[in-house]
Structure 1
Amino acid sequence: MNRYWWDSGGDRRIHWKAWDKLCVPKKYGGLRFKDLRAFNLAMLGKQAWRMLTKPDSLVARVYKAQYFPKGTFFDTQIGNSLSFCWRSIMAAKSIICSGVRRRIGNGETTFIWTHPWLQDEHDHMIQTEMPVQLQGTRVMGLIDQQTGTWDNDILTDLFQPEDVGRIMRIPVSLDYNDTWYWHGDPKGMYSVKSGYRRIVGDYESQGGEFMNWLSLWRLKIPPKWRMFLWRAICDILPTTTNLLIRRVDVSPYCAMCGISQENTMHALVMCDYARNIWEQSNLTIPNIVTNIFHVWFEELQNVLDSDGMLYAASILYNIWRARNRAVWEACLPRPNSLLRAAVTAKDAWLQARPIRPPAALPANAVAHAAETVHDAAHVETALMAGNVVPNLRRCRVDAGYLHDTGRATVGAVLFDANGEYLAAFNAPLPTCLTPLMAEALACKEALSWLKERGEQSIELYTDCLTLQRYLATPTAAFRSYVGYAIDGCKQIATLFQFCSFNFIPRSDNYLAHALATTAY
């Protein structure tokens, strides 16, 4: 694949960038190609995930009978005399086991010291040393079965204060069994994409490198110009300096001026020929002293608008084409001829681009309009069928969340069908693990408040589009703790004569947001 990317035709070409560098995401300077080994492991992880979460399936039972008859997939070891398929699945076991957690329900099947069930990002295991007599004990023993909450006396007797604090943050629901879930996914479901990200890890920009990669990929320019600029910024153009580094026997001097050694900055900006072109272009060019092209280009992005960047990209691309003609054909076009060619290419690109509507709505506004139309059609259908929605109320709800402490709050404002204010509500919420969990619990508390008021017909509005989609999908399956709150919302919603979940832009939900903020 690397050879295919760099070669053109039958001649062997230089691989200007290593494959692992091309696999880096675009926002960090790569081309987002897949690391094939990591991607294969991520797909194998799908099979391992099924072994772990569906132990009663036919395939899982076959492998269990042969390889781990007395335990679970989480506890099994590689062993000897394995089939090729089983060795492949076991290659992904460490990836799956490092990314899964136990969701605590009644605590009956989760071991305190050997299962990952804490919600700490960096340490998901109990750190307190395990007493020998408590080996094999389960989380159920830490829960007060009468109140359905953690038994604080037992926790303080057994664990260090740090572990006690981490345990107390975890919600308990005795109505659910303990399950495995994929940490980091809102639904708690493993996907090949999330597994791949876990394998390759997080990328970080290195100091001194080009930083505006996203702005480069967003430029409205022809793709071949964008790819040329990427190569220029990465300094992998076949200039004489780069060719000599790769032991290609060439003259070190620039083919356009014949005076200086040629690097990327010289060929595109500093050469007398290129400098003459930039002066005639009437563009605002950065006046900085540097021999590094990406430093100059980053400053160029700061001083030019989108039209100016299109023109500048066309000039850069045509200067490089002129340089190649000087190398291979020993001729150079006049600067004014090159500028005319650059303008012609720019105008042709603008004419070829599809014309967009002048007043395009942002994505969240389109989604809001679609949800509004859907709900209006729902109500109209109910009215046409004779199911009149009496005393329709509209409730706007929002959650507050402090990430460092997990503290969460709810704020809700109730209006009648004409938009007149009726009531308001705010309160603190139990400790939450994620902002989405806080939003779901806020909706649950708002619905409970509305039911206590005796309301029967409700349109609930939230500014969390992800939550609205989950609530509006009747078959959405959850393995994460968010599922507790989602299920609670849906159960309370069945108690109303009419209840719908709608999206509202955050800018229109400021009253509920202010109420949630004051509840701290």
Structure 2
Amino acid sequence: MAQREQVAWCLGVELASNFGKYLGFPSFIGRNKRAVFAYIEDKIRQRIGSWNKKLLSQAGKERIMNKYWWGTGTDRGIHWKAWDKLCIPKKYGGLGFKDLRAFNLAMLGKQAWRFLTEPTTLVARIYKARYYPTTTFVDATIGNNPSHCWRSLMATHDLVCAGVRRRIGNGRDTLIWGHPWLSDDPSPLVQTHMPEELRGALVSGLIDQDTGVLDSLTEGQVRLAVGILYYLWLARNSALWERSLPRPTSTVRRAVMAEEAYTRLGRASYQPHATVLPESDPHERPRCYFDAGYRQHTGEATYGVVLLNHEGVFMAATAGTLPGAFSPIMAEALACKEALSWLKGRDTQMIDLLTDCMELRNMITSRGTRTRSYVGVIVDQCRTTMSLFTSCSLHYISRAVNMHAHTLASLAFDQDHPMYWDVIPPDSITMFVH
């Protein structure tokens, strides 16, 4: 108390008995947060009790419905609907309630991002001096006896820093091991084992000081290194099983000769099989790529669908799980059916379907397919749905051209609900679309 009085005397200000409020919230938060914020709950309860239901807006009526489902006071009632279900957007079958925790984390994440991008601001300098004086926000920890604000900001630390990449510049402030400086996805960190003597090694040691670019091996040097490793492995096997260890110079000579022979012959160029895509017509129809995923040991199946316009620009996508698939071809047929239903829901009238499953393409386009099997029934349903479009065709493409849909189907095994994307593609397929 004496220190507070002394500071107030030096600054020429009065010593306040409380810290007041800012934007309706207490300026100072102690350890007993329940008591500090109890007045908010009382105000909300009084406000809800005074509402006239006839004058409620749509949002107010939804709050009344929420009150009906969850109950009030000590009588909480039965939780007929999980909160995560209520937070699903309305167009996907939910009520569109905001996930308050996610919204709060987003707001806190914006503040954490400012600590990274604007380290010279007053608030960033104060927090740096208090919680991470010798490092950056990326390496900051919650520390001992943190304030409520710092603890809240650190709740978003992993989320914000997971997508952070360091710009190298001269590389003198970036560690080779421990700092996210690689452009690799999903991990920007160097994954190899760190030798103890290189714990503090900087990226500047990898930069050619004359050219200002990262030192890298030429293609020939890479082939030579691979050849040396291969012949070292052969020498190891010879010593272990034949009791004969070749000289090191002989091992290196064999690797050099192999690399020179490969260079003389020239690298074999791989020419992928040409993929026949539908020719563009005057209507410039969009193209729908679809694929299925299937796990034989569990019977799980998924689908991935990507919609591109006639110029190959991303329009929309969806992915999810497929119930009731007993085989890979059945999963492909169900994925086709799911893609057609999704397109009808988007009110698409003209479309070109593309699949990397030749068997499914032949079954749908061949009118002689019997419908006595489960797959045959699904194929017949696909034909019926295709007939409802103004124009709908099915074409075969290679897996290399269908990687975006294949990737979404592979990732859908970890999803609990169908996922939808419009205009902006998911990060997992950005390399495959425009």
Do they fold alike, i.e. is TM over 0.5? no
Q: Taking CA–CA contacts closer than 8 Å with sequence separation of 6 or more, which of the two structures ends up with the larger relative contact order?
A: 1
What TM-score, normalized by structure 2, do the two folds share? 0.37
What TM-score, normalized by structure 1, do the two folds share? 0.31
